[in-house]
Amino acid sequence: MSSALKVAVVTGSNKGIGFAIVEHLCKQLGSSWAVYVTSRDEARGADALSQLKQRGVEPRFHQLDIDSQESVDRLAAYLKGTYGGLDILVNNAGIAYKGDSTAPFAEQAEVTIATNFWSTLRICDALFPLLRPHARVVHLCSSVSDMALNKASPELQKKLTQPMSLDEVKQLMSDFVARAKAGTVQEAGWPQTAYGVSKVGVRLMTYAQAREVKGDDIVINCCCPGYVDTDMSSHKGPKTIYEGADTPVYLATLPPGIKEPIGEHLYERKVVPWAVKPDFKFVAMASALKVAVVTGSNKGIGFAIVEQLCKQLGSSWAVYVTSRDKARGADALRQLKERGAEPRFHQLDIDSQESVDRLAAYLKGTYGGLDILVNNAAIAYKGDSTAPFAEQAEVTIATNFWSTLRICDALFPLLRPHARVVHLCSSVSDMALNKASPELQKKLTQPMSLDEVKQLMSDFVARAKAGTVQEAGWPQTAYGVSKVGVRLMTYAQARDVKGDDIVINCCCPGYVDTDMTSHKGPKTIYEGADTPVYLATLPPGVKQPIGEHLYERKVVPWAVKPGFTIA
């Protein structure tokens, strides 16, 4: 029966991007395929297999150390004897020295080129004879290869961008290592980056193989997975392993008879030409995209907002799911992709200044700006909570008001012309206003500066701690007052924030079936997402609503409403 199965092999797949590639291939290809996890260490491979089976997929395992000819030959013999051929090969295994490594550059060059280029070539030499008609080969490369090309001398750039045979590429890699050992890398026009040059080798190898390998519809490409949260990036990459796996899996599953891409390098499913690119940065391709960020969006209304934005805005936008917990964020990403949306993920805890600053730095460095911000993240104590009111007040105001303001302080400087900001508020703010004393009602319904709103929230928490909330005219509702703060913040920001057609509004999503309502709300999350998405996608030059609070797409005036109730 084994010989009837099609076969996919992913090198270096016991963790990271390779692990995610295996999972996605299993889910896409189904039971007529044998998808192989490979790892140098059999125990780690077995552990990866166990984790993948817990995630609902059924891969297989074979030990593989790409640096060992004996190990590679064993795999080749096993595949030939068991299946008679191979249909997908994803060369993911690779290494990189850390930026602070004290290893001599000659050592870094020799070891990195040995694994990333020569051992990848070793796998190809052993497994290419097994490739069956319509086979797909994907080499994991990197946009660092573009950076290395850009930093090379003009003479070397000219040489590197001319078509080369595989033998010429081999000679180039050997010469680089020899130059590194002799200390003459820069004299030969090379940049001082072993990893970058190794990926130049992989890229040139891809181009050469695509021209030279003969077969019936055998397609060879390479790709950059992006800056991914893995051991190799010291977990600094903002992309999840599943986002990193997207383009490799896309290339590995190209349909029979495809005309393009063939013999190309891709990033985020788009071909990246091999040419000198003045001022190229690792993320240069992303800077043309518009960007939307939805806080607290791994579930509930935020999840639905992300899905609707993805579907409305299309591929020219990068729409971000954010979540405090990376695993929950990755799970949300998977669910959204199953629903036909293609969002991205960045970790975000709005209560953490460090986390907020990381997101701001990432957006600035990757895209140079921000176009939609939906502040959805919030908390609410349950009605039967036994926590002291002082605690409820302090914690609720801290997250719903101060942390929302923290996001604004960090991301408003990135807002581009025609940006849209939406704060998720609540009609509970109207109820809180209605229950306030007449004196406080009068104060709350007068225009306030943002500093005055801040002082108001600080005073409420101080009153809660002192047990004098009602004496000061406030109602006994921490959540309601936090949303009063969000609403007044919206009005102040709409007056104060300067920019070209930057529009700021807030809205009530209604009583929605979410964890926050203990799933008692009658509205679906998609109904709750309707008004936030409407506000986030207001067209350029809109005259209204601006600086308003909306419910079901209608403006709700900020005024005392006798007999007001939430529908």
pLDDT in tens, 350-393: 999 999 999 999 888 888 899 999 999 999 998 889 999 999 99
The count of structural domains within the chain is: 2
Which residue type occupies 194?
Answer: A
Last residue of a domain, one of 274, 305, 326: 274
Q: Within 13 Å of residue 153, how many CA atoms lie on the same side as its CB?
A: 8
**197 contacts 191 by C-beta, under 8 angstroms:** yes
Question: At 288, is the pLDDT very low, low, confident or very high (cuts 50, 70, 90)?
Answer: low
What is the sign, positive or negative, of the torsion defined by CA atoms of 425, 429, 431, 432?
A: positive
Helix (H) or strand (E) holding 430: helix 428-435
Question: At 285, is the pLDDT very low, low, confident or very high (cuts 50, 70, 90)?
Answer: very low
Alpha-carbon distance of 365 to 50, in angstroms, equals 38
Q: What angle do CA 116, 263, 177 make, to 5 degrees?
A: 30
Q: Give the model confidence (pLDDT) of 483-508 as tens digits.
A: 999 999 999 999 999 888 999 999 99
Quick check: is 171 in a domain?
Answer: no
Residue 39 scores a pLDDT above 80: yes
Domain match, 306 and 270 both:
no
Residues 316-330, mean pLDDT to the nearest whole number: 92
Q: What value does the mean pLDDT of the chain take?
A: 93
Domain match, 314 and 208 both:
no
Residue 5 scores a pLDDT above 80: yes
**561 contacts 437 by C-beta, under 8 angstroms:** no
Residue 282 scores a pLDDT above 60: no
Domain match, 355 and 265 both:
no
Q: How far is CA 269 from CA 221, 224, 225, 309, 539, in A?
A: 11, 9, 10, 20, 29
Least-confidence region, from 308-312, 419-423, 519-523: 519-523
CB atoms within 10 A of CB 551: 18
Strand partners, 421: 373, 504
**225 contacts 140 by C-beta, under 8 angstroms:** yes
Alpha-carbon distance of 355 to 321, in angstroms, equals 14
Alpha-carbon distance of 350 to 375, in angstroms, equals 10
Counting residues of the chain whose pLDDT is more than 70, the rounded percentage is 97
Domain match, 237 and 332 both:
no
Residues 526-553, mean pLDDT to the nearest whole number: 95
Strands 344-347 and 317-323 turn out to be parallel
3-state secondary structure 164-216: CCHHHHHHHHHHHHHHHHHCCCHHHCCCCCHHHHHHHHHHHHHHHHHHHCCCC
Alpha-carbon distance of 237 to 182, in angstroms, equals 34
Domain that holds residue 415: 289-382+403-426+485-555
Residues 441-447, mean pLDDT to the nearest whole number: 95
Q: Which residues of 37-55 are buried (b: 16+ CB within 10 A; e: fewer)?
A: bbbbeeeebeebbeebeee
Question: At 284, is the pLDDT very low, low, confident or very high (cuts 50, 70, 90)?
Answer: very low
Quick check: is 348 in a domain?
Answer: yes
Quick check: is 479 in a domain?
Answer: no
Last residue of a domain, one of 213, 239, 274: 274
**156 contacts 276 by C-beta, under 8 angstroms:** no
Domain match, 131 and 76 both:
yes
Domain match, 268 and 123 both:
yes
Quick check: is 218 in a domain?
Answer: yes
Q: Which of 317, 348, 316, 350 is nearest to 332 (CA)?
A: 348
Residue 279 scores a pLDDT above 80: no
Strands 270-271 and 265-267 turn out to be antiparallel
Q: What angle do CA 102, 104, 110 make, to 5 degrees?
A: 125
Alpha-carbon distance of 501 to 25, in angstroms, equals 44
**220 contacts 137 by C-beta, under 8 angstroms:** yes
Least-confidence region, from 44-53, 123-132, 539-548, 556-565: 556-565
Domain match, 215 and 304 both:
no
Residues 216-225, mean pLDDT to the nearest whole number: 96
* Tokens at 435, concatenated: 């229950």
pLDDT at res. 565: 61
Q: Token pair 């081999």 is at which residue?
A: 170
Residue 566 scores a pLDDT above 80: no
Residues 291-314, mean pLDDT to the nearest whole number: 95
pLDDT at res. 2: 62
Domain match, 9 and 84 both:
yes
pLDDT at res. 308: 96
Which CATH number belongs to the domain containing residue 131 in this structure? 3.40.50.720
Domain match, 44 and 16 both:
yes
Last residue of a domain, one of 246, 274, 302: 274
Residue 105 scores a pLDDT above 50: yes
Residue 281 scores a pLDDT above 60: no
Quick check: is 359 in a domain?
Answer: yes
Domain match, 251 and 351 both:
no
Domain match, 137 and 257 both:
yes
Indicate the DSSP class of residue 384: T
The CA-to-CA distance between both ends of the chain, in Å, stands at 62
Alpha-carbon distance of 96 to 228, in angstroms, equals 14
Provide the total of helices (H) and of strands (E) in the chain, helices listed first: 20, 16
Quick check: is 170 in a domain?
Answer: no
Residue 422: strand, helix, or coil = strand
Quick check: is 444 in a domain?
Answer: no
pLDDT at res. 131: 97
Residues 45-65, mean pLDDT to the nearest whole number: 95
Quick check: is 473 in a domain?
Answer: no
Domain match, 490 and 535 both:
yes
Catalytic residues: 195
Alpha-carbon distance of 181 to 498, in angstroms, equals 57
Question: At 283, is the pLDDT very low, low, confident or very high (cuts 50, 70, 90)?
Answer: very low
The number of angstroms, rounded, from the C-alpha of 345 to the middle of its chain's C-alpha atoms is 3
List phi, psi (to 5°) of 219. Answer: -115, 130
Residue 9 scores a pLDDT above 90: yes
User: The whole model's pTM is what?
Assistant: 0.59
pLDDT at res. 383: 82
Residue 213 scores a pLDDT above 60: yes
Bigger pLDDT: 419 or 279? 419
CB atoms within 10 A of CB 471: 10
Alpha-carbon distance of 520 to 518, in angstroms, equals 5
